[in-house]
Amino acid sequence: MSRVELSPKSSDPVVQTATDEMVEHAQEAAAFLKALSHEGRLMILCYLANGEKSVSELEQLLGSRQAAVSQQLARLRIEGLVSTRRDGKAIYYSIGDERVRRTINLVYDMFCNVDGVSRGQ
């Protein structure tokens, strides 16, 4: 199978630099959206958009087992989308990237907002 060339080569270095930057941004956006594209991770981020939650709180809200919740939280943490805080034995999670909050608010307005009232910031 042949590899698709993402950035056409240009003889103009300014055009080539702009194209290379566009490819880099597209790859970053694709990785960001891929991290959000799992139903469980999306639900976790929706709950975190309303404020910090412990792992046990997320388990209860999601109706999922600790192992499944922890697996999704680990992926979100690796991607830099959530932040953690430890308080004794409890670990608390919050949204760690403002782009996540903005995206979750947009998704909410597009898919969950049945009464026309915006979720807000």
Mean pLDDT of 25-50: 95
Q: Count the domains in the chain.
A: 1
Strands annotated E in the chain? 53-54, 82-87, 90-95
Lowest mean pLDDT among 15-19, 56-60, 100-104, 113-117: 113-117
pLDDT score of 64: 94
pLDDT in tens, 47-83: 999 999 999 999 999 999 999 999 999 999 999 999 9
Question: The domain containing residue 68 runs over which residues?
Answer: 39-112
Q: Which residues neighbour 10 within 8 Å (Cβ) at sequence distance 6 or greater?
A: 16, 19
Greater confidence (7 vs 108) lies with 108
Residue 7 resides in a domain = no
pLDDT score of 17: 83
Residue 102 resides in a domain = yes
pLDDT score of 9: 65
